[in-house]
Amino acid sequence: MPGALPAPVVGRPALGRWVFLLVPLLVLPVPFFVNRYIQYVLNLILVYVLVGVGFNIVIGNLGQLAFANVALFGLGAYASGILVVHAGWPWWTTVIPAGLVGALAGALASLPALRRIRLFYLAIMTMAFGELMRWIYIRAEPLTNGSMGLAVPPPVLLGVRLSSDRSKFYVFLALAVLAVVLTSSLLRSRFGRAFMAIRDNELAAAAVGIPTDRYFILAFAWSGFVVGVGGAMYTALVGHVTPEAFNLLELILHFAVVMVGGLASLAGSVIGAVVLTTTPELFRGFPGVQELVLALLIVGVLLFLPRGLVSLLSLRLPLFRERYYRE
Amino acid sequence: MLPQLVVSGLAQGVLYALVALSMTMVYRATTVVNFGHGDLVMGGAFVVYVLVVYAHLPYLLGGLLALTILFALGVGIHQGLMRRIMTGPHLAIAMMALAVGYGLRGGARVLWGREVLPFPRIFPDHAWMLGDVVVTSDNLIVSGTVLGLMAVLFVLFNVTRTGRLLQAVFQSQRGAALVGLNVDAVHRVMWGVGAALAALGGVLLAPITLLYPDMGVWVLVRGFAAMTLGGFGTLHGAVLGGLILGVVELVLGAYVSTAFIDISAYVVVIAVLLLRPDGLFGQQVVVRV
Amino acid sequence: MALLDLADVTVRYGGLTAVAGVSFHLDPGEVRAIIGPNGAGKTSLFNAVTGHAPMASGTIRFRGERIDGLAPHMVSAKGVRRTFQNGGLFGELSALENVLAGLHTEVPSGFFGVLFGLPAARAVERSATARARQLLDLMGIGHVADQPAGALSGGQQRMVEIVRALATRPPLLLLDEPAVGLAPAVREQLLGVIRRLVREEGIAVILIEHAIEFVMSVSDRIVVLNEGKVIAEGTPEEVPKNREVLEAYLGH
């Protein structure tokens, strides 16, 4: 088949999928053993888990070159920030609205694809959308405080102020686990199969009765929701939302998370989030080196490991082959 | 006011046309849209900067060297990277191009960090009055060079044998291969040529603007907008689209809102693809699914 | 009432007329073959029936109801299913997942039920999976159920695609060159499958094929297309003797 990746690894997992829930459990005590900086990085990883999971749905599972992810991330971040700063809502109540804003914008971003705009045209258009949003953030000063950025007070959860990174960690961890579990449920159903059917052969997908337009919108909307929630987490983590945070460099980071981790793989999104958050941190303080390392990483993966790092694991452990059905 | 805007817009648009043209040439020859193209333009600008400011070479020589260096880089990108993933998914190809551009940007940032570099004054400071309209020597040199180049390209394409072979490859990769053309060699050369033309854009841009590592983004978006406006994938569309975009930016910027100087390109891309995907002068863009 | 009724169907792509005024009707349980030289418009005709290509003129009725102009997924839901000429499988999904995709319209799990893993949705999904496995087992390819479809052999891929198309027990199945590239033994197997489908399930089949013996041994009637028009129609005995048919084939 044209443009196909090398065949994925096969096999029914010997162990249940419960082993994946072990990871969050194992990670629970970690905040008590790390310093503030590492705690911050861990929190950032969790934000990018949502970014990766969300983005992967559109470019991995649905297989579309839609680069609106950063725009959705930014919208979620600003939505949360604006509600906290201007409407006085406590942070935890802005999480769902941020997701909804992302979902709505995601659905909007899918519309050109419905008009059969695909491949590079869709990529260019969604990139333009992202840059346009950034310009809007800069110009919508009353709401967003323009280029100076929106300063957001520490997040509040049910009356409790989450001022330390450690307290944020547990909330973020819960959100990340939820994002992965819910997305996994979605993918292991006729919805997930429909997304991938559209990716693999859109004509055949229609021929088996899948209303492709509807599922396009759905995939983009769910992706937008997850990424929007990630944006709200970002606002809570960083406390300062600026337009510069959502530029094309950020887009490449999102790509890297998905491609280095593994396209269309939930485990891959998590792995990608870990690798792509920690690696730039290693080079913080050396402007330009971060980008060079990132570029090398992406090129390396594209040339030698097109299925991402998760494919290394799949070779050893059939566990990592994702199944898209329930039995 | 309007004639001045049109003239200045055209002078600006000529650069957009060059960028769009070079991207289109690479796209037609190799079916790859080079998302890193803007960064190649940036590369050309920075290389000529280094040669003129540090190596004290005359601008013309520095410019030609920059073209040569970027040509080699373009060939290298194809040989080392693009060639190996051409048969794979489009996403990988787009990502590879982006990553290469990203790496170039990183390289520039390593060397110059947050600095914004001014280029020494190269073009003479002359201006002519045509009625109410001011035409500067900047305008003339840039426009003249680009239009001259396009005339040369036009001749090459339509008159020489190589040019017509190229047209065959532009029409159909497979067909060209079937009649025995060495398509891989064409791809190699076109990547080089595309990069060299990008470099030319950078070389011409350098004396008239401030240089910074992220300037590629600005260039890329305008290149895309020009291509889309004129009719994605057509050579004449790329040129006309660039010229029109230059004028549109300034005219809308003056009569509607200065915002349009910044966002015309984005709005054009979105609006054209939604309303008239074929652009003003183009052929079928919508992918037949 | 005819199962499928094509009246004066014309399909154009730009300036090219792929199908020019084709008419025929098909009864339930019939096997009809469409043959003709390359470019005769056979696949275009299929595309018109399944809604993948717009018609310039004509009508198509399925069980008396007009289906021309409907989107492909609606035509499929009405009971017309098909296979594709150049691999219509979902290559990155397993054979089982392909068949499950084929069952899409009969898996009534709702979005939020699925998202939150509610018991009702889970039960629906599980029974769909069981059904899909059963279908693959019935066709003798149950052992490859968990392999990625793209990695299967040509014959196995063809079978999976057919199983997928049949998953919803459609009254009408369109097969586009099902036998091409298959080894003779596999072709025999395929013939057996088609015969069994028709005999036991009463499914009507229209197939496009080049392999003449294949066509002869399974079809009730044959339609010959050339340059978008029907140039002959008849039984497997009549058609090879038709002069126009011979000219069409020899002339190419």
Angle at which helices B37-49 and B183-205 cross, to 10°: 60
A219 reaches C (C-beta below 8 A): no
Query: What is the spatial distance between Cα B284 and Cα C117, in angstroms, rounded to a whole number?
Result: 44
Contact (Cβ atoms closer than 8 angstroms) between residue B37 and residue B101: yes
pLDDT at site A320: 60
pLDDT at site A19: 67
Helix intervals (H) in chain B: 2-30, 37-49, 59-77, 83-85, 90-112, 137-159, 161-171, 173-178, 183-205, 215-230, 235-255, 259-275
pLDDT at site C48: 94
Average pLDDT over residues A118-130: 87
Tell me if A123 and B269 make a contact (CB, 8 A cut-off).
Answer: no
A293 contact residues in B (CB cutoff 8 A):
106
Percentage of residues in chain A having pLDDT higher than 70: 92
Q: Which residue has the tokens 């971040």?
A: A77
Contact (Cβ atoms closer than 8 angstroms) between residue C48 and residue C55: yes
Average per-residue pLDDT in chain B?
88
Tell me if A200 and C93 make a contact (CB, 8 A cut-off).
Answer: yes
Structure ipTM: 0.93
pLDDT at site A113: 85
Query: Would you place residue C185 in the very low, low, confident or very high pLDDT band (cuts 50, 70, 90)?
Result: confident
Average per-residue pLDDT in chain C?
90
Residue C46 clears pLDDT 60, i.e. is over it: yes
pLDDT at site C134: 94
A6 reaches B (C-beta below 8 A): no
Which chains form contacts with chain A, at 3 or more CB pairs under 8 Å? B, C
Residue C110, phi then psi, degrees to nearest 5: -85, 160
User: Measured between alpha carbons, how far is residue A97 from residues A221, B139, B198 in Å?
Assistant: 13, 50, 44
Residue A200 clears pLDDT 70, i.e. is over it: yes
Query: What is the spatial distance between Cα B232 and Cα A88, in angstroms, rounded to a whole number?
Result: 47
pLDDT at site B127: 86
pLDDT at site A12: 46
Digit-coded pLDDT (tens) for B114-135: 788 888 888 888 888 888 888 8
User: Measured between alpha carbons, how far is residue B143 from residues A137, B8, B101, B127 in Å?
Assistant: 35, 11, 26, 14
Query: What is the spatial distance between Cα C48 and Cα B70, in angstroms, rounded to a whole number?
Result: 50
Measure the CA dihedral B127/B128/B129/B135, to 10°: -70
Contact (Cβ atoms closer than 8 angstroms) between residue A207 and residue C105: no
Digit-coded pLDDT (tens) for B187-236: 999 999 999 999 999 999 999 889 999 999 899 999 999 999 999 888 88
pLDDT at site C16: 86
> Looking at the partner chain, which of A202, A259, A292 has a beta carbon nearest the beta carbon of B289?
A202
User: Measured between alpha carbons, how far is residue B31 from residues A119, B170, B173, C212 in Å?
Assistant: 11, 9, 9, 39
Tokens of C197: 């489908």
Tell me if A200 and C81 make a contact (CB, 8 A cut-off).
Answer: no
Query: What is the spatial distance between Cα B233 and Cα B227, in angstroms, rounded to a whole number?
Result: 7
Residue A321 clears pLDDT 90, i.e. is over it: no
Digit-coded pLDDT (tens) for B131-153: 888 888 888 889 999 999 999 98
Bridge partners, C12 (sequence order): C17
The radius of gyration of chain C from alpha carbons, rounded to an integer in Å, stands at 19
Residue A284 clears pLDDT 50, i.e. is over it: yes
Average pLDDT over residues B41-58: 93
Tokens of B35: 């998302």
Count chain A–chain C contacts defined by CB atoms under 8 A.
140
Average per-residue pLDDT in chain A?
89
pLDDT at site B286: 44
The least confident of A156-160, C115-119, C132-136, C174-178 is: A156-160
Contact (Cβ atoms closer than 8 angstroms) between residue C149 and residue C91: yes
A282 vs B23 pLDDT, higher one = B23
Query: Would you place residue A318 in the very low, low, confident or very high pLDDT band (cuts 50, 70, 90)?
Result: low
B131 vs C132 pLDDT, higher one = C132
pLDDT at site A26: 87
Of C133, C138, C129, the closest CA to residue C107 belongs to C129
Query: What is the spatial distance between Cα A169 and Cα A44, in angstroms, rounded to a whole number?
Result: 9
Residue A104 clears pLDDT 60, i.e. is over it: yes
Query: What is the spatial distance between Cα A259 and Cα A275, in angstroms, rounded to a whole number?
Result: 11
- Nearest chain A residue (CA) to B27: A120
A215 reaches B (C-beta below 8 A): no
Contact (Cβ atoms closer than 8 angstroms) between residue B217 and residue A291: no
pLDDT at site B228: 92
Query: Would you place residue C251 in the very low, low, confident or very high pLDDT band (cuts 50, 70, 90)?
Result: low
Digit-coded pLDDT (tens) for A260-270: 999 999 999 99
Query: Would you place residue A8 in the very low, low, confident or very high pLDDT band (cuts 50, 70, 90)?
Result: low
Tell me if B103 and A117 make a contact (CB, 8 A cut-off).
Answer: no
Which pTM value belongs to this model?
0.91
Digit-coded pLDDT (tens) for A52-100: 999 999 999 999 989 999 999 999 999 999 999 999 999 999 999 999 9
**∠ CA B6-B8-B11 to the nearest 5 degrees?**
110
Tokens of A52: 């990766």
Tell me if A288 and B221 make a contact (CB, 8 A cut-off).
Answer: no
H/E stretch holding A151 reads strand A150-151
Q: How many of the other CB atoms lie within 10 Å of CB of B54?
A: 8
Tokens of C123: 């039960």
Residue A3 clears pLDDT 70, i.e. is over it: no
pLDDT at site B181: 78
Percentage of residues in chain B having pLDDT higher than 70: 98
Q: Which residue spans within chain C are E strands per DSSP? A: 4-13, 16-26, 31-35, 57-62, 65-66, 80-82, 172-176, 204-208, 221-226, 229-234
Query: What is the spatial distance between Cα B21 and Cα B31, in angstroms, rounded to a whole number?
Result: 14
Tokens of C130: 């069981």
Q: How many of the other CB atoms lie within 10 Å of CB of B278?
A: 18
B273 vs B40 pLDDT, higher one = B40
Tell me if B96 and A298 make a contact (CB, 8 A cut-off).
Answer: yes
Cβ contacts of A241 within 8 Å, gap of 6 or more: A77, A78, A81, A144, A149, A150, A152, A234, A235
Residue C249 clears pLDDT 80, i.e. is over it: no
Distance from CA of B124 to the nearest CA of A (A): 35
Tell me if C90 and A200 make a contact (CB, 8 A cut-off).
Answer: yes
Distance from CA of A196 to the nearest CA of C (A): 8
Residue A287 clears pLDDT 80, i.e. is over it: no
Tokens of A279: 């690696």
pLDDT at site A11: 44
A177 contact residues in C (CB cutoff 8 A):
none
Cβ contacts of A169 within 8 Å, gap of 6 or more: A31, A39, A42, A43, A46
Query: What is the spatial distance between Cα C203 and Cα C217, in angstroms, rounded to a whole number?
Result: 17
Tokens of B59: 């601008």
Contact (Cβ atoms closer than 8 angstroms) between residue A89 and residue A32: no
A213 reaches B (C-beta below 8 A): no
Tell me if B98 and A249 make a contact (CB, 8 A cut-off).
Answer: no
> Looking at the partner chain, which of A63, A128, A248 has a beta carbon nearest the beta carbon of B269?
A128
pLDDT at site A194: 97
Residue A285 clears pLDDT 90, i.e. is over it: no
Contact (Cβ atoms closer than 8 angstroms) between residue C214 and residue C191: yes
Query: Would you place residue A9 in the very low, low, confident or very high pLDDT band (cuts 50, 70, 90)?
Result: very low
DSSP state string for A207-268: HTT--HHHHHHHHHHHHHHHHHHHHHHHHHHHSEE-GGGGSHHHHHHHHHHHHHH-TT-HHH
Residue C82 clears pLDDT 60, i.e. is over it: yes
Helix intervals (H) in chain A: 19-27, 36-56, 69-87, 91-114, 119-139, 141-144, 165-187, 190-200, 202-207, 212-238, 248-261, 266-282, 289-304, 310-316
pLDDT at site A4: 52
Burial zone of C119 (CB within 10 Å; 0-12 exposed, 13-18 middle, 19+ buried): exposed
Query: Would you place residue C184 in the very low, low, confident or very high pLDDT band (cuts 50, 70, 90)?
Result: confident
Assign C59 to helix, strand or coil.
Answer: strand
Distance from CA of B221 to the nearest CA of A (A): 7
Contact (Cβ atoms closer than 8 angstroms) between residue B123 and residue A311: no
Query: What is the spatial distance between Cα A282 and Cα B108, in angstroms, rounded to a whole number?
Result: 20
pLDDT at site A142: 87
Query: What is the spatial distance between Cα C187 and Cα C211, in angstroms, rounded to a whole number?
Result: 10
Query: What is the spatial distance between Cα C31 and Cα C108, in angstroms, rounded to a whole number?
Result: 32
Query: What is the spatial distance between Cα B71 and Cα B87, in angstroms, rounded to a whole number?
Result: 24
Bridge partners, A161 (sequence order): A156
Contact (Cβ atoms closer than 8 angstroms) between residue B94 and residue B36: no
Contact (Cβ atoms closer than 8 angstroms) between residue B40 and residue B22: no
Distance from CA of A257 to the nearest CA of C (A): 21
Residue B288 clears pLDDT 60, i.e. is over it: no
